[in-house]
Amino acid sequence: MPALSLKRRAAAVGEGLHALYPDADCELRFSNPLELLVATILSAQATDQRVNEVTRSLFRKYRTAADYAGAEPRVLEQEIRSTGFYRNKTKNLIGMGRGLVERYGGEVPRELDELVTLPGAARKTANVVLGTAFGIPSGFVVDTHVKRVAFRLGLTEETDPIAIEQDLMRLFPREEWIFLGHALIRHGRRVCHARSPRCGDCGLGKACARRGVDR
């Protein structure tokens, strides 16, 4: 697809997402950067609704990085068990707490290169925290929804999340990265489902390439 045509498609998608989801934001509940970091780590292979149910009580008990660093593994495992992969997530949360205490004075850093050194905080997690908690557009959040929707819309031909992120960062202005990441996720959850996408109800139909979707 010629670059100009792709740019026009991207512009139409951006305009459509603003119209469809003007209030798109992260659906994880948090009150500070540490809570968002914890919730995002827990959200791997778990729904935001499930994570929000777990963190309701978790955040009352664990209030600081030091609290996670000193957590009893067997206890924490049971507290987060329903989010799945709880043993690995427990190791990550404790390691994350220790990393914050030992290297960053217990505070969540505002630099991508620093955030990704923490257990459980890969690039996607770091982008979520920086964008949503600090308002820093460090990159484009690419989860399973964004990966699927961006491909179907014709915004990328890549399958690797990092490559997809690079494509989206080139197509959209930096000031749009945070909003559009949330909006694409919301569109994937509400309309562009993995199975049986609701193409007839899609407000982005005119801009969509419908890749991999029965026409």
Q: Is 48 a catalytic residue?
A: no
Residue type, 59: F
Q: What angle do CA 149, 205, 151 make, to 5 degrees?
A: 25
Q: Active site residue: 25, 113, 124, 206, which one?
A: 124
Q: Active site residue: 23, 67, 143, 160, which one?
A: 143
Burial call 13-32: b when 16+ CB within 10 Å, e when fewer? bbebbeebbeebebbbebee
**139 phi, psi to nearest 5 deg:** 175, -170
Please tell me what DSSP assigns to residue 208: -
How far is 112 from 105, CA to CA, in rounded Å?
17
Q: Is 124 a catalytic residue?
A: yes
Contact between 152 and 212 (Cβ < 8 Å): yes
Catalytic positions, please?
A: 124, 143
